[in-house]
Structure 1
Amino acid sequence: MRATPAVAPLAPATTAQVRGRLAALGRFCHRHRRWVVGFWVLVLALGVLIGGRVFEGTVASSSAGGSESARGSSVVAAADPAKGTVTAVVDGPSVQDAAVRTAVSSAAADLAKLPGVVSVTDAYGPAGQAMVSKDGRASLVAVRMADGSSSAQQKAVEQRLGAIQAEGAKVTVGGDLVLQQEVKDQTAKDTQFGEIVTLPLTLIVMVLVFGGFAAASLPVLGAVGSVGGALLAMFGFSRIMDIDTSVLPIATVLGLGLSIDYALLIVNRFREERGHGATVAQAVERTLATAGRTVLFSGLTVAVALSGLFVFTSPVFRAVAAAGVSVVVIAGAAALTLIPALLGFVGHRVKAPTAPVPDEGFFARTVRRVQKRAVPVVLVCTALLLAAGAPFLGSDWRSSGASVLPASSAGRQVTETVQERFPQQAAAPVTVVVEGRTAQAQAYADRVVASTPGVSGVRAVTPVSDRVSTVEVLVHGDPQGAGAKQVVDELRAERGGLTTYVTGDAASVVDFQHEIAGRGPWALGLVAVGTLLLLFLMTGSVVMPVKALLMNVLSLGASLGSLTLVFQHGYFSSLLGFSPTGGLETFIPVLVFAFAFGLSMDYEVFLLSRIKELRDEGYDCTRSVELGLQRSGRIITSAALLMVIVFAGFAAGQMLMVKEMGIALAVAVAVDATLVRCLLVPAAMTLFGEFNWWAPAPLRRLHRRIGLTEHVVLPPLGPAAPAAPAVPAPRAERDRTLVGVS
């Protein structure tokens, strides 16, 4: 006797196939699900084995690309045979203590013989007193490593320095080379920590959302697969361009968030189709034809927002743009291929709803209350968002240096010790690279630098080679404050007839600000035009895209304002586990704008597509807004909650830049999904009424020809489908469920 299969296969004779390429993709992924899942398992394995090596890449320069500070650093690097320094602080007994002297001198002699070492400087050599602290109870041992030295050679130097032993002496090993390695290591740890923390929490929330483990596990599996692909993509980019270490966790957090977001839409729509009586195969096909369109459109909007970063010349911006766009593509690909294939295996175990989304509920009631008080709601929400963003107007941008690492970092401890106790060895606020002989550099320092307003003195003129020297300039006040930046401008205005490059942290900040001021409007214009065009193609309106753009800017202002309060002014710093540096990392506000703008537009697409579809069905503006938020509010809120969990998980790491991005994006998503989508958007649309959908006649005709639509007409399900719920919803009601956004 033949066994009857639990779920009937898709029967073309009884149910017409859904037209379109996405529907065809759904059929392919279901029929060849073993091959599709196998492909993503391979991607994940390669991502872990090969892509994980991306963390070993070099740290890109913090200077703005093509700027004077970057060119000056390149000139010094080309002339200097050393690539950096490993420095040890020997602290405790008097520097003149015989045991300390013997231990340090012996170590210096051993270090000079190690391969890869250019020179060794200590307190008992020619440098003498310059390597001794102000209180005479600590000294430095500085080892300059050759440009071609290996990581193993550097490690040997660190081990020998750490082996210095004298009674009562404490040795801490740091230096710029150690700092770079610690940044890479800590970034890798924070990225892994973020993934370990967020994925289980995400799974728990998914179980609550879907009411079952089978459906809840799919977005998590999709996110894991996309992370493997993202690591592979970033590894490929690291072979052809400089990838700043901070790019890796930023791209990873975006990939995780979007993967979960998109998979949530796919699985939710699949559940809905199953609830209407579709087989697993039919539900996969119909899901890709509807929700798959939203995933594609949403990914396009996020990619457009990130593409604005290509306008900048700084390596960090270009690296984030390349990595971010590739991560968006991979997240979308995982949602459109891996999730449908997994549904082919476990779709019969996914709990299906027994009724469509009701027209009455929390979100519908909220909209009605908002619509009755539309003017006050718009005024209050706008005032709150403007007030939240106001602190950003007083933000101070700076290069944090070693402060990006946790206080327990040995590299940071050495840097701070040198700044406090060895000021003569600390990095100068401003350094002028002079192409010329040492005598010319000295004359320039005496005649031009010393007389520049704001300069407190010239610490040293150091020859790097026969034709390159550096002038270390000290300034009054904050090393990266307004006075230091003014010194940079003055020295660039008066070069004393020589070829000079003004570099240093203050100069890097100035260059970043100049680049953002010069290229920022072009980047903003590109993003704005692309976004307006996409939303016009979706809605057919010129009012809705402009309104959406303005609301997103308000939401972004609140995010940047909170970023300033927390990381510049130090609010909640003890709770978040960091020490405020008095400013924001130079490139973080630009990255926050690009990422948060894309994510905000993501939710805008979810909501507007729902409202637009209801209006096309004949509802008036008021009712379409009410039903639109009622039927998409739950999915938007769930997606936003998952995004916040992901961002908060990464903000719990130790790297300051990752914390800044995590907190800023978590605030942006939370504000956007609550205050903006649930209050400001319904209130504003109520005030505009039918004018929301206005466009000039030529543009209306254009939209009819080339416009995009989220609505897909699905053929009726055939009798081969399993029995529908006891009281099936009528077809008209079924069409009004979350088509394309559920």
Structure 2
Amino acid sequence: MQNPSPAGPAPRTRLARLGALIARHPRTWVAAGAVIAVACFAVAVGGVTGESLFDRLHSGAPTVASEASRAQDVIAQSEPALETLTMQVTGADLTDAATVRDGASATQEVAKVPGVKSVRSPLLAPKGLADPSVAPLLKGGTPAAGGFVTVVDFVPGADKAAQASAEAQAETRLLAVASAMHAQGSVGSTSKVIKAITTTVEHDLLRGEGIALPLTFLVMSFVFGGFVAAGMPIVGAVVSIGGALLSLFGFSHAVELDATVVNIVTLLGLGLSIDYGLLTVSRFREELAHRGHDVPTREEVARATERTVATAGRTVLFSGLTVAIALAGLLVFEASIMRAIGVAGVSVVLVAMVVAITLVPALCVVGAKRLSRKAVEQASDVGVFSRLAVGVQRRPVLVIVGVVVVLVTLALPTLSMKLTSSGTELLPKDAPQRVFFEQLDRDYPALSAPEVTVVAASSDTAAVTAWAGQFRSRPGVEGLAVQPLGTEHQRVNIRVAGRPTSDDAQDLVTTIRATPAPFETLTTGQAAGQIDFLDSMAARAPYAVALVVLGTFVLLFLMTGSVVVPVKALLLNVISLGAALGVVVWIFQEGHLEGLLGFTSVGAVESMVPFLVLAFGFGLSMDYEVFLLSRIVEFHRHGAENDRAVSLGLQRTGRIITSAALLIVIVFGGFVAGDILIIKQMGVALVAAVVIDSTLVRMLLVPATMTLLGRLNWWAPAPLRRLHDRFGIVE
């Protein structure tokens, strides 16, 4: 019996007609892609508009409208936040009157900088360094340690340029203070931390792409057996990156974009573009193989392009839509950063889809003669992957049980997951700004923000102090102070040992919020903000899951005509993503592989990572699911029985899926080498997700479950089958 083949007359669908149009004017499409790419990079990175994307990035813990944010609003009304610049001085002889006098004289010059509101320094104390009021500004609270800090407050409301100028001048004069005292000085500020993070993000992006693009080119050269074919997906990926960066630049004018968004979204666009380009070029060469002779004619190239865009283009559209649906789930959440990632991610997926069904086919047409040299023989129906499928089909139950045991074992650490929202810990351990603030917290604890702050709506300081006193004995509490906040509120500052989001700090927040008070109280701080963020995410998660599950189910049903296949695909993805998160917890929370991966564990996983991994990982898993299912469905519709369709589908896509997975691992591996902790965690998580999905799930679980289910794979209730007959998306 002859093997069923999907080859045949090009279907006259809209995609086929698009392929025909591209085949008629390929150089026009290529030129348009080049012009668009140059324009995108010029605007987003080149700064032709006066600023680049990286100039518009921000950084901070993810927030939502909550009790913590309301408390911050009350505090801001009474104590407006000021931009500050802090200098730490070490090695100063504060017992020498002349040294102190020289330092005080130099410090007075700082106050003369335009835009400076005030300067707080122990050197300017009227009663000298022995004044108890300046003890918090002295290292160890005494001049004997030879260290002190100076804090510069700037006039609020200055524009960006004026603020930058004031900070630069103040920093120069602050360092002159240390020089005048023959000591060492270092300067830090919130704006410097943000600058350090955004600069590191930019460097990580360049380094990641610098690693990923050459390596992917080499791998694809091996896969395709030539540089021309390998270069086409890379060109498509570069254009997609330009479109992604321009998209992010546009969104930065509508919402505040966190610095980490750029790498997260860009690496997704890069990975998808390479995947889709690989699929498109592979299918084009496969279609050329049907011609039966060496040099293809113009008509044969046109038919191959038509067929490629109609079939591979359809797969790309299905795949892109599944990824977009997964990312659209982020739009349900309240946190602005999640919505920003969702919107930007969807736009990047759309860019990758458009490039894959327009520019890449046009490149294939231009390079058709070179591509055809190794495409004469038709793809074989027998090979490594078909034999793997047959082997799995002999013992499907054993394979299912074995793989599920492995995945559950990998997922077990997820049960002990702890979440945190890092600040300077996002930077490498030796980053100057991280070192600066860790030293500041250690040597000048009174200057650091309290871990937990309670805003009490009362003008009675004594009453608030009496109520707050019950929390002094709580685990981890090191200090508690009450001070008036305007005329109608009191502020309770509570210092807790450990990190700002430690278990003790979070337990204290929960206890305070559950404790009755004779006045209204609002609790804030980093721990409170994290609790509110996670509560908000948990409240919206069911709606996000429902949106993604329903959207994916509908899309896969329209593609397959089955209700069993989509349900099975969703269940397998959940198991594989749980395993990927387990790997992240084992590495980053438990501190394994610190030396190899170049990070320092903070004993937890960044709070956004699980949600982003579920969205991005689900999208990538469905990406490979669509790659495989599209060919299985294609063979099944051409007459192959279930097991034969599965083995043929795996044989025809196995090499593509494996190659695509390897390329995705290379892309994400480039970002694992980055310095920003959350990007490193995302990179490791997605590498794990792709490896698990492309091997254990796609090569073993999918054929095993489809074999076990047999004809049930294609079952649907009669009303839904009629619905698919009418609205289903087929070639």
In the superposition, the TM-score normalised over structure 2's length comes to 0.90
Shift of 1:36: 2.9
Alignment of 1:722-733 (within 5 A): none
* Match in the other structure for 2:399: 377
d(CA) in 2 for partners of 1:359 and 1:18? 23
1:447 to 467, 480, 486: 467
Shift of 1:573: 1.0
Secondary structure of residue in 2 paired with 1:313: coil
2:212 to 198, 212, 225: 198
Secondary structure of residue in 2 paired with 1:472: strand
2:628 to 587, 607, 611: 607
d(CA) in 1 for partners of 2:646 and 2:286? 21
Secondary structure of residue in 2 paired with 1:124: helix
Q: Is the 8 A contact 2:452 2:526 kept in 1?
A: yes
Residue 397 (structure 1) aligned with residue 431 (structure 2): no
Shift of 1:494: 4.2
d(CA) in 2 for partners of 1:592 and 1:236? 24
1:42 to 32, 35, 42: 35
Secondary structure of residue in 2 paired with 1:527: helix
Cα deviation, 1:449-505, whole Å, max 9, x if unaligned, reads 554662725444456656666432123566423332122123223474445431111
Q: Is the 8 A contact 2:464 2:490 kept in 1?
A: no
1:297 to 313, 318, 337: 318
Q: Is the 8 A contact 1:280 1:343 kept in 2?
A: no
- Report the AA paired with residue 138 of structure 2: V
Query: Residue 183 and residue 614 in structure 1: after superposition, are their counterparts in 2 closer, same or farther (change >3 A)?
Result: same
* Match in the other structure for 1:733: none
d(CA) in 1 for partners of 2:317 and 2:96? 70
d(CA) in 1 for partners of 2:326 and 2:334? 17
- Report the AA paired with residue 603 of structure 2: G
* Match in the other structure for 1:138: 147
Secondary structure of residue in 1 paired with 2:495: strand
Shift of 1:402: 0.7
d(CA) in 1 for partners of 2:137 and 2:283? 68
Cα deviation, 1:7-56, whole Å, max 9, x if unaligned, reads xxxxxxxx987522222222333444444333333332233232121222
* Match in the other structure for 2:83: 84
Query: Residue 77 and residue 244 in structure 1: after superposition, are their counterparts in 2 closer, same or farther (change >3 A)?
Result: farther
Alignment RMSD: 2.3
- Report the AA paired with residue 357 of structure 1: A
Residue 282 (structure 1) aligned with residue 265 (structure 2): no
Alignment of 1:181-580 (within 5 A): 181-277=195-291, 279-350=300-371, 351-434=373-456, 440=460, 443-448=463-468, 450-451=470-471, 454=474, 456=477, 458-461=479-482, 470-475=491-496, 479-494=500-515, 496-580=517-601
1:154 to 148, 167, 179: 167
- Report the AA paired with residue 261 of structure 1: D
Shift of 1:581: 0.5
Q: Is the 8 A contact 2:280 2:308 kept in 1?
A: yes
Residue 170 (structure 1) aligned with residue 170 (structure 2): no
Shift of 1:556: 0.3
Shift of 1:650: 1.1
Q: Is the 8 A contact 2:410 2:583 kept in 1?
A: yes
- Report the AA paired with residue 133 of structure 1: K
Deviates more, 1:425-434 or 1:547-556: 425-434
How many residue pairs get matched?
694
* Match in the other structure for 1:737: none
Shift of 1:98: 4.7
Deviates more, 1:169-178 or 1:412-421: 169-178
Q: Is the 8 A contact 1:274 1:280 kept in 2?
A: yes
d(CA) in 1 for partners of 2:266 and 2:351? 11
d(CA) in 1 for partners of 2:516 and 2:230? 64
Residue 583 (structure 1) aligned with residue 604 (structure 2): yes
d(CA) in 2 for partners of 1:112 and 1:91? 21
Q: Is the 8 A contact 1:259 1:331 kept in 2?
A: yes
Secondary structure of residue in 2 paired with 1:50: helix
Shift of 1:263: 0.9
Cα deviation, 1:595-631, whole Å, max 9, x if unaligned, reads 0000001101111111122222222222211111111
Q: Is the 8 A contact 2:324 2:346 kept in 1?
A: yes
Residue 634 (structure 1) aligned with residue 647 (structure 2): no
Alignment of 1:12-27 (within 5 A): 19-27=12-20
Secondary structure of residue in 2 paired with 1:276: helix
- Report the AA paired with residue 108 of structure 1: T
Q: Is the 8 A contact 1:424 1:459 kept in 2?
A: no
d(CA) in 1 for partners of 2:639 and 2:68? 60
Residue 648 (structure 1) aligned with residue 657 (structure 2): no
Q: Is the 8 A contact 2:427 2:677 kept in 1?
A: yes
Shift of 1:348: 2.4
- Report the AA paired with residue 41 of structure 2: V
Q: Is the 8 A contact 2:240 2:273 kept in 1?
A: yes
Secondary structure of residue in 1 paired with 2:123: coil
Shift of 1:207: 0.4
d(CA) in 1 for partners of 2:232 and 2:155? 50
Secondary structure of residue in 2 paired with 1:88: strand
d(CA) in 2 for partners of 1:90 and 1:238? 37
d(CA) in 1 for partners of 2:461 and 2:27? 69
* Match in the other structure for 2:63: 64
Secondary structure of residue in 1 paired with 2:302: helix
Q: Is the 8 A contact 1:63 1:511 kept in 2?
A: no
- Report the AA paired with residue 25 of structure 1: L
- Report the AA paired with residue 130 of structure 1: P
- Report the AA paired with residue 85 of structure 1: T
Shift of 1:165: 1.3
Secondary structure of residue in 2 paired with 1:224: helix
d(CA) in 1 for partners of 2:251 and 2:485? 33
d(CA) in 2 for partners of 1:572 and 1:37? 44
Cα deviation, 1:675-699, whole Å, max 9, x if unaligned, reads 1111111111121111122221211
* Match in the other structure for 2:129: none
d(CA) in 1 for partners of 2:262 and 2:157? 25
* Match in the other structure for 2:121: 122
Secondary structure of residue in 2 paired with 1:246: helix
In the superposition, the TM-score normalised over structure 1's length comes to 0.89
Cα deviation, 1:530-572, whole Å, max 9, x if unaligned, reads 1111111111111111111111011101110111111111111
Cα deviation, 1:97-131, whole Å, max 9, x if unaligned, reads 55653454344322222233232222324551101
Shift of 1:175: 2.5
d(CA) in 1 for partners of 2:401 and 2:88? 58
d(CA) in 1 for partners of 2:470 and 2:106? 39
d(CA) in 1 for partners of 2:67 and 2:436? 29
d(CA) in 2 for partners of 1:539 and 1:100? 81
- Report the AA paired with residue 332 of structure 2: V
d(CA) in 2 for partners of 1:56 and 1:78? 29
Query: Residue 128 and residue 291 in structure 1: after superposition, are their counterparts in 2 closer, same or farther (change >3 A)?
Result: same
Shift of 1:246: 1.0
Alignment of 1:651-662 (within 5 A): 651-662=672-683
Q: Is the 8 A contact 2:100 2:181 kept in 1?
A: no
Query: Residue 255 and residue 572 in structure 1: after superposition, are their counterparts in 2 closer, same or farther (change >3 A)?
Result: same
- Report the AA paired with residue 359 of structure 2: L
Q: Is the 8 A contact 2:232 2:277 kept in 1?
A: yes
Q: Is the 8 A contact 2:67 2:522 kept in 1?
A: yes
Query: Residue 392 and residue 356 in structure 1: after superposition, are their counterparts in 2 closer, same or farther (change >3 A)?
Result: same
Secondary structure of residue in 1 paired with 2:153: strand
% of aligned pairs identical?
44
d(CA) in 2 for partners of 1:665 and 1:95? 53
